[in-house]
Structure 1
Amino acid sequence: MQRYCDKILRPIVVSFIHCNHLMFQHDNAQAHVARICTQFLEAENVPVLSWPAYSPDMSLIEHVLDALDRRVRQRVPVPANISNFAQPLKRSGTTFHRPQSTA
């Protein structure tokens, strides 16, 4: 945890938060809520947003990962037209378009 304070918090987070007048938000991971880290943030006068532990509603990526997990578990087939997105865009004048699939 000391390494987290020395390598991440002090050189990156603290200066960025103070320069931009921001509030620090973390996800209550063990490294974030360890006593040494919370004491360090208090000593550096870093405002920390308090929020309940394991609160996925505050993190958008948690919703995305949950939806992806449900889709994978249900083994929902990928739509047939999704292969068009793997093809590079072609330029036509000032606009871009996807080439028509030959299948």
Structure 2
Amino acid sequence: MSTARALQNDFQQATGVNVSDQKIRNRLQEGGLRAQHPLVGTVLTARHRGARLAFAIEHQNWQVHHWCPVLFTDESRFTLSTCDRCERVWRSRGEHYAACNIIQHDRFGGGSVMVWEGISMEECTDLYRRDNGTLTAIRHRDEILGPIIRPYTGAVGPGFLLVHDNAQPHVARVCRQFLEDEGINNIEWPHTRLT
């Protein structure tokens, strides 16, 4: 990431020539670049980078047939409210309560819904919708692993591998024990929740 001012300083240090930061901006625009807000990301620690490198090295020679029995799973939360407080309006001073500047929303937030699904190269599981409550290890075992993953494992047959992220309920002892008791193998996913 670099700003026009930082590029100006770098250019001056490298060449000894002083050019304005506006000239730098003009040249960047001529080159098709536009100033944008940087994306915000989490910092990966040495442990995270090491885990990702080890995963890549371990699986670098896998062929398509190795990935066929692998089921990748994840869940996402969707807010049911029309207002998630991320929208912005442009207004003049004193127009705070003008009707055009008010977004209506459910007084109690409207709630949210969590959905879960698994995909592989050739199949996908049914979309599972959890309407209420938080995901606990017991719920994950009783609502996902038992009724969805266990039958899917049987349908795929030998070589089945489960991949899920390292969310606390997924890696809790009760879920690890369930997978072990059922003979369900999983790939250690290097993704680590950083928040």
TM-score under structure 1 normalisation?
Answer: 0.48
TM-score under structure 2 normalisation?
Answer: 0.26
Greater radius of gyration (CA) = 2
Structure with greater strand percent? 2
Structure with greater helix percent? 1
